Amino acid sequence: MDNATELKPEGTRQFGPVAVALIVLAVVGLFSFFLLDIMIPFIRLQSAKDVQGAAELLKERGWKGFLAVSLVEALQMIVVFIPAEFIQISSGLSYPFYMALILCDFGVCLGATIIFVLVRVFHVISGAAERNRKKIDRISSNMRDRNTVFLIYLLFFMPLVPFGAICYYGSGTKLPYRKYILTVATGVVSSIITSNLMGAAGRAFMSNSLPLWILILIIVFLAALLFLLVWFFIKKFFLKGTSGTPDSPAQSLMLFIMRLVHGKKQMVNIHDSLMETVETPYIMLVNHESFFDFLFVSQIAHPKNPAYVMNAYYYNYGIMRKLGPEGGMIPKKLFTTDMPFVLRTARTIVKGYPVIIFPEGRLSPDGRTNFLVPGAAFYKKLNVDIVLVKITGAYFANPKWRKKRFISDIDVTVEKVLKKDELENIPAEELDEIFYKTLYNNASENQNTLFPQNDKALGLENVLYRCADCGSLYTTKGVGNDLVCTSCGARHTLNDHYLFDDPIGSIASYYDRIKEMERKDLENLNLHAKVRTKIFNCKDRPRKESGECFMTKDTFRYVSGSVSFSVKLNELQAIPFSCGEEFELYHNDELYYFYPESDRQQCARWALISDMMSPLGS
């Protein structure tokens, strides 16, 4: 979590569950002393998980049972490891639904208040809470200000972290007590209602007065209604005015989902001491090694939530059609003039938010940083600091040609901060060169992770599509750790350093051999592929058709039954591709995805040759 939102008082003392329980007993002792005749039997029943016995005890003791519910609920909050569901189900069995809800919620607030005092006044840290804090740290990063409230709500809705641990976390942030306790009081309602309904269901079943299917419908309906009400409450009172900005919970939700998808395979090391010199807002430029790069960069200590520039295709696809605009994302049409991107970026900067850009616009095919799309002239006009960040260690863990991810250490380093005052005296072309030299990385030369896996070459033929020995096209095949040519039988084996055990050495060197073979034939170049085509725009559904693609040393051309167009290669910045699937480009504000009907390895060939002919790649 971001240190900017956490209180780290000096002299903090860490206590285990027993010590914390003793402190709690001292605080609530005066209130519970006269209830010993119910508290002790109740806790014994809780230890034995005797829900029915606990319910009978509460009903027998009258008003003392009311107090016992709230006190035990408070106790389980503070001690953390006592489960809350037991008391909530017991109260649901014993009392009317509304009464059980009030008693449990009051107990939660009482416990949360005591935790707040323990943390803020006495600087106490619960050992059990600290162990659960690791889960919270995995769930979220880069949450600050109003998004801290959203995170707490999110945690209450998820059955992963005890309520007490969430309150210890919330008390350690800069949230004022009023906002903290309001968040707790409303955030726990859904769980309490669910548990109380379970108790009420048990009572109804024991009296045979309610069929099972009706109970299920009621619980599902109430849960959905409750979720909508709580969400409305969050939007209305806590996150008002954040829609369409990086402060929106939509961005936090996207990062949370991606963190779950990413899992724990990569250890990310952040080196961001230079961020202390940065003035907000700023432009952050980052090299692009893997699909999860934006997740890694989110863990930098940004003083304010940044906006992320993303591929316009993904921005307009599926759930991102809603989350992207809501979360303040900035869409960019790759390798084509895109004035809406320029305007959105400028507006985001004016609003005071940093903007993160991956100027390569695509993943590296061979582990070396692609050429960058020039942008210095535009960035200088924004009159902000420029932060240059290099990611290393991510390429071999998750290259574009392999679906499976490997374990590795990843470093995210703030390499350079260019202050806005010094940018005035640097020509745009020289500045673009500084960007490239600072962000450049060769993964084969700059990685310290061993890869003992036995399937390192799987999918590699979709980048290394041509035999480096005999020159045959589309005859390479990744088998285990070997790249094999089915034409001449050549075999190149990857070792644990992801290098070939022969003079070729690295994947990048093999790629260069292919490039030299292609260069010899450029004058007579005549590529041709029959393709299935998908055509996307931001308004209509994708169109599908069949067509043909052609490429000579001067021109790319596409012909189908409905459209025909040509693009000069010296005007085409790049042709992005997905390994073994498709290659793509924009024309007349529409995105064309070309799927070859045969030899899908050739997608890499179209991309490589366009790079060789591009004015940016020369």
Q: Are 167 and 184 in contact (CB under 8 A)?
A: yes
pLDDT at position 8 is 45
Token pair listed for 252: 């936090």
Which of 103-107, 191-195, 276-280, 516-520 is predicted with the least confidence, judged by mean pLDDT?
191-195
pLDDT at position 455 is 93
In the 3-class helix/strand/coil scheme, how is 155-191 assigned residue by residue?
A: HHHCCCCCHHHHHHHHHCECCCHHHHHHHHHHHCHHH
pTM: 0.71
Q: At what angle do helices 212-233 and 189-206 cross, to 10 degrees?
A: 170
Query: How many percent of the chain have pLDDT more than 90?
Result: 47
Residues 379-396 have a mean pLDDT of 96
pLDDT at position 537 is 86
pLDDT at position 217 is 67
Nearest-5° angle of CA 593, CA 526, CA 590? 20
pLDDT band at 498 (very low <50, low <70, confident <90, very high): very high
E-assigned strands of 131-271? 266-271
Residues 107-128 have a mean pLDDT of 81
pLDDT in tens, 559-587: 999 999 999 998 889 999 999 999 999 99
pLDDT band at 449 (very low <50, low <70, confident <90, very high): confident
pLDDT in tens, 262-290: 777 778 899 999 999 999 999 999 999 99
Torsion of CA 214, 220, 225, 230, to 10 degrees: 140
Residues 63-91 have a mean pLDDT of 67
pLDDT in tens, 197-255: 655 555 554 455 556 566 556 666 666 666 666 666 555 655 566 778 888 877 877 88
pLDDT band at 421 (very low <50, low <70, confident <90, very high): very high
Torsion of CA 215, 221, 226, 231, to 10 degrees: 150
Which of 155-164, 323-332, 477-486 is predicted with the least confidence, judged by mean pLDDT?
155-164
pLDDT at position 144 is 44
pLDDT in tens, 452-476: 999 999 999 999 999 999 999 999 9
* Residue 494 per-residue DSSP state: B
Name the 3-class secondary structure at 591. Answer: strand
pLDDT at position 472 is 96
Q: Where do we find the tokens 């209130």?
A: 31
pLDDT band at 358 (very low <50, low <70, confident <90, very high): very high
Instruction: Give the separation between CA 487 and CA 490, rounded to whole angstroms.
Output: 8
Class of domain 522-613: mainly beta
Q: Are 445 and 394 in contact (CB under 8 A)?
A: no
Nearest-CA neighbor of 536 among 593, 597, 583? 593
Residues 578-605 have a mean pLDDT of 95
Residues 125-146 have a mean pLDDT of 55
pLDDT at position 503 is 93
pLDDT at position 25 is 53
Nearest-5° angle of CA 23, CA 48, CA 118? 15
Which of 62-66, 190-194, 345-349 is predicted with the least confidence, judged by mean pLDDT?
62-66
pLDDT at position 17 is 42
How high does pLDDT run on average in the chain? 82
Burial class (CB in 10 A: 0-12, 13-18, 19+), 511: buried
More confident residue, 157 or 210: 157
* Residue 235 per-residue DSSP state: I
More confident residue, 156 or 137: 156
Nearest-CA neighbor of 479 among 489, 467, 493? 493
pLDDT at position 43 is 59
Residues 289-314 have a mean pLDDT of 92
Token pair listed for 102: 């009030």
Which of 18-27, 87-96, 374-383, 426-435 is predicted with the least confidence, judged by mean pLDDT?
18-27
Burial class (CB in 10 A: 0-12, 13-18, 19+), 504: middle
Instruction: Give the separation between CA 507 and CA 486, rounded to whole angstroms.
Output: 19
Residues 110-123 have a mean pLDDT of 85
pLDDT at position 587 is 93
Q: Are 390 and 441 in contact (CB under 8 A)?
A: yes
Domain boundaries, the chain: 3-132+139-237, 249-439, 460-520, 522-613
Q: What is the largest CA-CA distance in the chain?
A: 97
Token pair listed for 515: 């490039």
